[in-house]
Amino acid sequence: MCNFTLELQHMDKKEILAIFNKKCKNTLMETLDMEFIDVGSDFLTAKMPVTSKVFQPYGQLHGGATAALAESVGSAASNFFVDHKNQFVNGIQLSINHIKSKKEGVVFATAKNIHTGRTTHLWEVTITDENDDLVSVAKMTNIVLTKK
């Protein structure tokens, strides 16, 4: 169960999603049309359309685009656990397995917390399609750093 920071604890779902989506402006997440769409006490979900923007040369969803989606959701989710005045989060490791190819539609990435330590967070990120079929599975480790 997430232990949201005080800042996020007192916001409703719409406000939290608006904050995350605003931070995507002028970033890779905006370029790839990623959007945070759901948040709960133990997860964060984003979606990304499968279009030519995210294709590899054979007209399928690029594994790197899928990895970018997984890392974006896993990194954002760690923000629920840090003191934003004094800390920030960086991804330090991402491992991803691709199960199914996609040529169209939408993929959804949901990050669920496995471990929340003082200095590291571990996330499992499942990527599914609009039919709830598994596309990829990722594990991501984030480090919590102190602002200088």
**Residues that are catalytic:** 71
In the chain, the amino acid numbered 7 is: E
Core vs surface per residue 120-139: b (16+ CB within 10 A) or e: ebbbebbbbbeeeeebbbbb
Q: Are 147 and 86 in contact (CB under 8 A)?
A: yes
12-to-21, 41, 96, 129 alpha-carbon distances in Å: 14, 11, 31, 26
42-to-4, 87, 113, 123, 124 alpha-carbon distances in Å: 10, 21, 7, 11, 11
C-alpha to C-alpha distance for 82 and 41, rounded to whole angstroms: 15
